[in-house]
Structure 1
Amino acid sequence: MATPRIVILGAGYGGLMAATTLMRTLEDGEADVWLINKHDYHYMTTHLHEPAAGTAADEKVRVPLRDVLDFDRVHFRQGTVKRFDPAGRIVELEGGETIPFDYLVVALGSEPETFGIEGLREHAFAIRSLNSVRVIREHIEYMFSLYRARGEDPAYTTIVVGGAGFTGIEFVTELAERLPRLARAYDVPEEAVRLVNVEAAPTILPGFDPSLVAYAEAKLREKGIEVHTNTPIKACTPEGVVLQGDREIRAKTVVWTGGVRGNRIVEASGLEVIRGRVKVDPYLRAPGYDHVFVVGDSAVVFGEDGRPYPPTAQIAVQEGRAAALNLAAILRGTPMQPFKPNIQGTLASLGRWEGIGIVGKRRFYGLIASLLKRGSDLRYLWQLGGMPIVLKKIRYFFA
C-alpha cells in the first residue's frame, strides 16, 4: 500500500505550524509530507510594519525554513500555487508542474480587500509580504529625497495610511518614530512632514477595549499623527486620496491596511467560501471534502456565540497544530478532536517601546505591553524551532 501524501500549501503561521507538528508527530513511513511555498522562508506578518517603516531589519521577520524543518522529513518545494483541485487531488504550480495529494492543508493566507474603492489596488501600497514592505520603505525614502529636487512640494513628504486596525496603528506609530530622523537625513523641515491615518469606523482599533483605544489615541496625538475617523476613503489617485465629501489629501505615498480577504485561489478552487475564506467544520475540514483541511486566513471558524473568530496569528498557529494532529489521527485510525481556540490575549505595539494589550482579563499599557508582545513572539519562535531559533532572533527583538 502506497504511503499517503500530505501536501501543505503555504508556510505562513498556520501552514508552517502544521508542517512542524507533522514532522514531530508522525513516525517514519506514516505519511509523505510536502510543503509548497513561494519563498524558502517564513515571515512573521505581525512584524512586517517594522521593516516597512524602516525601524527593523528584514532578518527580524524572516525565518529560513531550513532553520525549523528537517527537509528529509518534510519535502519542501519552492513554487507559486496556481490552482488546486480538491476533487481531483492535484495541485498545479506556476510553470505547469502538478503535485498529487491524498490529504491537503490549505494555508494560502490573505490578500488586501479594497471594498471596491476606486484606484486603491492601482495606486496604494499594502503591507502583505517581505518584498512588499521593502518597496514601501524604499519608496518613502525616495519621496523624501525628491522633496528638495521637486520644488519642496509637501505631497512628497505626506504619507496617508488607510485603516486604523492593528496593522494600520502599528505602522503609523512605528513610522512616526522614524520620520524625524528621515527628515534630517534628507534636509526636509519637520513641519513639511505629514502623517495621516484615515479610518471609516467611528474610532481607531474598532471593537477593541475602549480604555486601550483611548490610550492609543493619546499616543497617536503625542507622536503628531493626524487621525481622521468616520472618514471613508472614496478614491485613491496618483496624487493622493479623495475622502468622503470630496475632500482631498495630496500625498505621494498611500499605504492601505484597511482589510483583508482570503486568497482568491481558494475561491477559484470550488470550495465554498465567505469573502474568500472557507467555513470549515469542527475539525477544520472544507465542506464536502473530508481530505482537505483549511487553516489560517484561508479559514473562518465560528464560536459558540455564532460570531467568527478574528483571523489572528495566534489562532492560525493553533489551527495549524490542530489540523496536523487530526491528520495524524486519521492515519492512525483514532478519533479526531474538534478545534477549540485558546485565545490568550491581544497585544499591539505603538512604537518601539510602547504598546497596549489584554492578557486574560488584565489590561496592559506602555513598556509592559511592549515587553509582553516581544515575549509572545519569542514564544512562537520557540514553538517553531526551539532554543536555536530563539537565540538567532532574540537580539532583533531587543535592539
Structure 2
Amino acid sequence: MKRVIIIGASYAGLYAVKNFSECKNIEVVLFDKNEYHYIQVESYSFVSTSQNIDDVTINISQYIKSLNKNINFYNEKIDYFDSELNEVITDKNIKYSYDYLIIATGSLTNFPIQVPNIKEYSIGIKTLQSAVKVERLFSSLIKNKNKKFNIVIGGAGLSGIEVATEMAAIIKDKFHNMKDNNLEINIIIVDGMKTVLPNMDDRLVRACEKRLDELNVKTYLGSFITDVDKNKIYLTNETVVDYDYFIFTGGIKAVTINSNKNHDVNKLNQYIVNQNLKMRNEKNIFVIGDAAEITLNDKYFAPTAQLAIQSGEYVSKYIQNELSFKYTEKFNPKSNGVLISLGGKYGIGLVFNKLFIKGYVAFLLKNFVTYMHKIKFIMK
C-alpha cells in the first residue's frame, strides 16, 4: 500500500483528503499543528462578531474519523522534509516515510518589510488566534458609550473590504437602535492602489464604492504606507491617518518547510510548481493551495479558496491515476466567479464571471457556497 503524506489541513489539504477517502489501496496521513480547520473566507463575519468561533472552524479529528481506516490525522507540526530519503520530520524529531508528499501549508499575512513597524503595530486575520484578538477588540469597542475610535483596515482587496463593510454595517445598525450614545467608531481603509477591489470587474468596483459610501467608510487610496507608529499611519502623499486599531489585510506570504534542498520560491515565498503541481525538480512532491505559485501559459493565478480547492482535488486525482497507470491532463483551473459580502445582508458578485448580482441575492448565494464547503467536512 502506498502512503501519501499531506502537510496542512488547509482548504487544499482537506479537499485532497476528501478525494482520497474512497481509495482502499492508499494510506493517507494528514498532519497539522492545529486540531481545527479555520474557514478564512468567513473571517470577516467572525471578527465583526456576526458569527462565533464554531461557525468558522471545523474539527479535523471528527471529520477524519468518519472516513475509511486508511486515512489518519496526526495533530503534529512538520518541521522538515527530506526528498532523497522520502521522509518528513516533526518538531519532536519523529520521522515518517512517504511515497508521495503533498504540501498544503497555506499562507500568513504578508507584512511588507519596507514599512517600518507595521508588523509591530498592526494585526492580521489569517490565523484564528489573530482573528480572535480582533473579534474581542471589536466586541469590547461596540459596548462603549462615550468614546471615539478609528479602526483602520490596511488593504482594499477582498479581505479588507469584507472586514470593513461588515464592521461598518454593525456599527450603523447599533447607532440606529440607540437613542443616547456618544460612541463614534470610524472605519477607514488605506491602500496604495487607486481603487478598491483592484484588478476586479468594474461592476464590482462601482457597486463596492457605492456601498462604502452608504456605510460611511472613509478611504485613502492611491498612496502607499511608508511608516507606522503607535497611533499614526504615514502615507507617501504625506497624509497622516490617526488610528486606535490597525488591521492589516494587504497580501499573503506562503508558509514553507525546511528541507534537505533549496527549493525555488517566488517573492511571495510560494514554491514553484510545474503544470501538474509538482514541486520543481521533484517527482513525488506536490504543492497545492496558497503555498504554490500556479502559473499556466504565462498567466499567474492569484491565491483563492476556489483555486486551493481545485488544486487539492487535482493532485489527489493525479496520484490515483498514476498508481493505476492512467494519464492525467495538466492542471487547468476554472473560475466560477466571485462573491463578496459587503456588510449586513448585502453582497455583490459575478456568477461564472459574467452575471453580475447584488443585494440580498448575492448575500444568500455567498452564504450557501460557504455552507456547502463546511457541510462536506462535518457530515460523511
TM-score (structure 1 length as normaliser): 0.87
Match of 1:84 among 81, 93, 105: 81
- Cα 1:67–1:125 change in 2 (3 A) is same
Which of 150, 154, 160 is the aligned partner of 2:152? 160
- Out of 246, 256, 272, which is 1:254 matched to? 246
- 2:92 maps to what in 1? 95
**CA distance in structure 2 between the aligned counterparts of 1:144 and 1:241, rounded to whole angstroms:** 23
Asked whether 1:34 is paired with 2:29, we answer yes
Structure 1 residue 129 displacement after superposition:
1.9
Q: Indicate how the Cα distance of structure 1 residues 235 and 268 shifts in structure 2: closer, same or farther if over 3 A, else same.
A: farther
Q: C-alpha displacement at 1:177, in angstroms?
A: 1.8
Identify which of 2, 6, 29 aligns with 1:8. Answer: 6
- Whole-Å separation in 1 of the counterparts to 2:90 and 2:240: 43
Paired with 1:188 and 1:295, the residues of 2 have a C-alpha distance of 49
Relative distance call for 1:261 and 1:141 in structure 2 (3 A) is: same
What's the counterpart of residue 377 of structure 1?
370
**Are 1:139 and 2:132 matched, yes or no?**
no
Q: CA deviation at 1:375?
A: 2.1
- Cα distance in structure 2, aligned partners of 1:378 and 1:343: 19
Structure 1 residue 34, shift from structure 2 partner: 0.3
**Residue 266 and residue 301 in structure 1: after superposition, are their counterparts in 2 closer, same or farther (change >3 A)?**
farther
2:208 aligned counterpart, secondary structure? helix
TM-score w.r.t. length of structure 2: 0.91
Q: Which moved more, 1:137-146 or 1:280-289?
A: 137-146
- In the alignment, what sits opposite 1:75? 72
SS at match of 2:105: coil
Distance in 2, matches of 1:188 and 1:101, equals 61
- Hey, what's the Cα distance between the residues in 1 that align with 2:199 and 2:280? 30
| C-alpha deviation, 1:330, in angstroms | 2.2
C-alpha distance 286-188 of structure 1, shift in aligned 2 (>3 A): farther
Q: Residue in 2 aligned with 1:392?
A: none
> RMSD value over aligned CA atoms?
2.3
SS across alignment from 2:126: coil
Deviation at 1:180, TM superposition (A): 4.6
- What corresponds to 1:123 in structure 2? 121
Name the structure 1 match of 2:56.
61
CA distance in 2, matches of 1:221, 1:177: 11
Contact 1:164 1:198 in 2 (8 A): yes
Distance of 1:232 and 1:339 partners within structure 2: 36
Does the Cα contact within 8 Å between 2:79 and 2:258 map onto a contact in 1?
A: no
- Whole-angstrom distance in 2 between the partners of 1:63 and 1:144: 28
The one-character-per-residue Cα deviations of 1:151-173 (angstroms, maximum 9, x if unpaired) are x5x4xx11000000000000000
For residues 66 and 114 of structure 1, the distance between their equivalents in structure 2, rounded to whole angstroms, comes to 32
Paired residue secondary structure (2:199)? coil
Of residues 292, 302, 326, the one that matches 2:295 is 302
Change in Cα spacing, 1:380 to 1:146, as seen in structure 2 (3 Å) is closer
Structure 2 gap segments, 5+ residues each: none
Q: Give the SS at the match of 1:254.
A: strand
CA contact (8 A) 2:103 2:288 kept: yes
Structure 1 unaligned regions, length at least 5: 390-399
Q: Which residue in 1 is equivalent to 2:226?
A: 234
**Residues 101 and 118 of structure 1: is their aligned pair in 2 closer, same or farther, counting only changes over 3 Å?**
same
How many residues are paired up? 373
Contact 1:14/1:317, CA 8 A, preserved across alignment: yes
Specify the code of the residue in structure 2 equivalent to 1:85. Answer: D
The one-letter code of the counterpart of 2:16 is A
The letter for the 2-side match of 1:80 is K
Deviations 1:224-258 (A, max 9, x none): 11011102111222223222234322222100001
Secondary structure class of the residue paired with 2:5? strand
Q: State the alpha-carbon separation in 1 of the partners of residues 323 and 207 from structure 2.
A: 50
In the TM superposition, residue 286 of structure 1 has moved relative to its aligned partner by: 0.6
Q: Is the 8 A contact 2:49 2:139 kept in 1?
A: no
The 3 A distance-change label for structure 1 pair 83 and 352 is farther
The code of the aligned residue for 1:14 comes to A
Residues 296-375 of structure 1 mapped to structure 2, 5 A cutoff: 296-304=289-297, 306-360=298-352, 361-375=354-368
Where in structure 1 do 4 or more consecutive aligned residues deviate above 4 Å? 142-148, 180-185, 266-269, 382-385
In proportion to residue count, which structure has more helix?
A: 1
Task: Name the CA distance, whole Å, in 2 between partners of 1:144 and 1:377.
Answer: 27
Residue 298 of structure 1, CA deviation: 0.6
Q: In structure 2, the residue corresponding to 1:68 is in which secondary structure?
A: helix
